[in-house]
Amino acid sequence: MSFLGTIKARGGNDAFLHIEEEAEKEVALAMQMPLQDKYYQDKYYTPRFVAGELLKEFELFESAGLKISPTDLVKILFKCKLQFASQTEKEFGQRGGGLFPMLSDSAAVVRWSERAGDINAIIERHVNQLEAGIAERILLAHVSSFTALSGDPHP
């Protein structure tokens, strides 16, 4: 089973449909944005912060053991769907936030040249890249002071 199929099976099809709906809202908002301001300067779309709309999906994904964020899926779906809504590469770049993304997550980097393919295959490929990027990460933090429960900094 593909990772997208796993997401739908474990997280639930309703959750995936809600995530896809948020991505489609994002595409609609990006398509409404004028490409230039009143001074004829190019404008670039900034995606919304959608975590608040996806709280239920965050909980579902965590309880299902999916090690991805619903917002990661929104980013991928947004970029893939935006490709087919845009008429030119320049428009795709402006509505997608720029053609040269500074993302460390390669799964969210959708290139204009991929537009020649089938949208479902493109989505599938990027979701599989998302799965490939899952890795256990360890946070190291330097402890510079310690306070005992009594509140005395030097027990």
Question: Most confidently modeled of 54-68, 97-111, 137-151?
Answer: 54-68
What are the boundaries of each domain within the chain?
3-132
Mean pLDDT of the chain: 88
User: How many C-alpha atoms does 25 have within 13 Å on its Cβ side?
Assistant: 12
* pTM confidence score: 0.82
- With beta carbons less than 8 A apart as the criterion, state whether 82 and 96 touch: yes
Residues 36-91: tens digit of each pLDDT: 999 999 999 999 999 999 999 999 999 999 989 999 999 999 999 999 999 999 99
Q: In which band, very low, low, confident or very high, does the pLDDT at 117 lie, cut at 50, 70 and 90? A: confident
Q: Alpha helices, DSSP H only, in the chain? A: 3-11, 13-32, 55-63, 70-85, 89-95, 119-132
